[in-house]
Amino acid sequence: MSHPATMRNGPLGSTIHVLRADAATITELAAIDWNRSFSRVCLDPALGLVILMTPSRLHEDLTDIFGHLIDAAASMVAGAAKSLRHTRLRGPDDPPGTGMEPDCAFYLGERARAYREALAEGEAAADAFLEQTPLDLVVEAEITNADEGKIARYAEMGVRELWRLHGRKGTRELRADFLALRPGAPPRRLDASAVLGGLTPGDVCEAVDGVRLSVTPDERAEAVARIVRRRRRAGVRVREEETPFAASGAAG
């Protein structure tokens, strides 16, 4: 290792081990089944970074909530969603076994349907689809200083949008940043999601408590449906308010 390993506690109470090493060492480390001991693993030779996480209950709770939330919202606004949680994502030139494991990862709409067709063909077809088709949405539930390089790496992999959640153990406060990603370009902060029906960071944070307190699939779906319906109504009002001005400008 080029630097000594460090251990820290994340803001949600997870235990996180961070190691820095050269690309060759990380490629060798990829032969180890780290997931037998750690639920989240990042082995990134490009960043020279190994991150091994044991998530806290709060981390896993928030990840589950956002998995349900995105699945339900996408069913309403995109017509389809396919979760790829616990999938290790890597670039086309990265060695096998390396990559990053986001807390939530989704194909939405047409890509979700196409991935289903690949799954129906078999595991080899599904793996090939995943390697060739960038994800629509990735969520990181617990942010530390070691995660900063991940934004650029997700962009290089073609991920369209990244949601970064900011919560803290012992509080109910939650904030979300939505970032639009593009290879070779800096991330662009979004006021509303470009891939999920214009939902805002405030919308999804508000829905968290409703999903957390739900005890049936129907209750979870309704907690999400409320914010989707409200966002749709707000969008209609905006379009209606803009129409007279547009008409007036055209008349002029």
Give the mean pLDDT per block of 10 residues along the chain (252 residues): 78 95 94 92 92 96 96 95 90 90 96 97 95 96 87 95 96 95 96 96 95 95 96 76 56 48
Q: What is the pLDDT of residue 252?
A: 46
Please check whether residue 203 is in contact with residue 163, taking contact to mean a CB–CB distance below 8 angstroms.
no
Please check whether residue 140 is in contact with residue 165, taking contact to mean a CB–CB distance below 8 angstroms.
yes
Compute the Cα dihedral for 236, 242, 248, 252 and give only its sign.
negative
Tell me, what amino acid is at 110? E
Q: What is the pLDDT of residue 7?
A: 92
Q: Which domains does the chain have, with CATH numbers?
A: 57-235 (3.90.1570)
Phi and psi based region of residue 189 (left: phi greater than 0; alpha: psi -120 to 50; beta: remaining): beta
Q: What is the pLDDT of residue 91?
A: 85
Taking residue 60's Cβ as centre, other Cβ atoms within 10 Å add up to 16
Q: What is the pLDDT of residue 147?
A: 81
Tell me, what amino acid is at 15? T
Of 138, 215, 178, which is closest to residue 223 (Cα–Cα)? 215
Indicate whether this model's pTM tops 0.85. Answer: yes
